[in-house]
């Protein structure tokens, strides 16, 4: 795993920009950071907010705080629909705030969310290769999985059929 703060070359090198760039970003109001888990939204967000002298917020942390529950517990109790409703509410409540805000990996993929974010600030997509994401996130948590299914280039029905067969064979 890379050490903290070592994101290397672009797109993270913007943190070293001069004062003109800082002024332009400050004028943007809300800065929404989107990207996959492990892309650096929290680490870059905290560093950028410190450099700009504005708050850093994480929508997942805000959701947990408001619910008094962890994200997994919210999913368990309310399902994805309940979680997404909470997420939309938090995002709507933060829109227009002069802050750097990190969104959960799936937030921008929700219907209408990309347009709403763009209308309420500057959306920054932190993109990382699959190899980088795996390095940052690691695979240790997945090594205890009972089954592993490779999904690259495969149809959903074929995946479901293979998984159903493997579960049946394992029973």
Question: Averaged in consecutive runs of 10 residues, what is the pLDDT profile of the chain (171 residues)?
Answer: 41 48 60 91 92 93 95 93 94 92 90 88 89 80 75 87 86 70
Task: Tell me the C-alpha to C-alpha distance, in Å, between residue 67 and each of 78, 93, 139.
Answer: 11, 15, 29
Structural domain includes residue 2: no
Tell me: do 154 and 81 sit in the same domain. Answer: no
Tell me: do 121 and 80 sit in the same domain. Answer: yes
The domain in which residue 109 lies consists of 12-138
Q: How many domains does the chain have?
A: 2
Task: Tell me the C-alpha to C-alpha distance, in Å, between residue 151 and each of 27, 137, 140, 158.
Answer: 43, 19, 19, 10
Structural domain includes residue 46: yes
Tell me: do 114 and 158 sit in the same domain. Answer: no
With left for phi above 0 and alpha for psi between -120 and 50, is residue 76 left, alpha or beta? alpha
pLDDT value for 19: 52
Tell me: do 82 and 62 sit in the same domain. Answer: yes
Structural domain includes residue 164: yes
DSSP-derived secondary structure for 83-129: HHHHHHHHHHHHTT-SSEEEPPTTGGGSTTHHHHHHHTSEEEE----
* pTM score over 0.75: no
73-117 pLDDT, tens digit per residue, is: 999 999 999 999 999 999 999 998 999 999 998 898 888 889 989
């Amino acid at each position: 795993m890379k050490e903290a703060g070592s994101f290397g070359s672009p797109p993270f090198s913007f943190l070293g920009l001069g004062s003109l760039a800082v002024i332009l970003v400050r004028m943007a109001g809300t800065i929404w950071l989107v990207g996959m888990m492990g892309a650096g939204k929290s680490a870059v967000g905290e560093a950028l907010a410190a450099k700009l002298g504005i708050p850093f917020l994480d929508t997942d942390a805000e959701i947990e705080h408001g619910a008094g529950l962890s994200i997994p517990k919210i999913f368990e109790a309310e399902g994805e629909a309940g979680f997404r409703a909470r997420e939309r509410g938090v995002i709507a409540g933060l829109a227009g705030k002069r802050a750097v805000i990190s969104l959960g990996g799936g937030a921008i993929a929700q219907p209408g969310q990309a347009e709403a974010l763009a209308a309420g600030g500057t959306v920054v997509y932190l993109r990382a290769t699959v190899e980088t994401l795996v390095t940052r996130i690691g695979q240790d948590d997945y090594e205890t999985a009972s089954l592993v299914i490779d999904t690259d280039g495969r149809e959903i029905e074929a995946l479901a059929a293979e998984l159903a067969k493997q579960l049946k064979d394992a029973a």
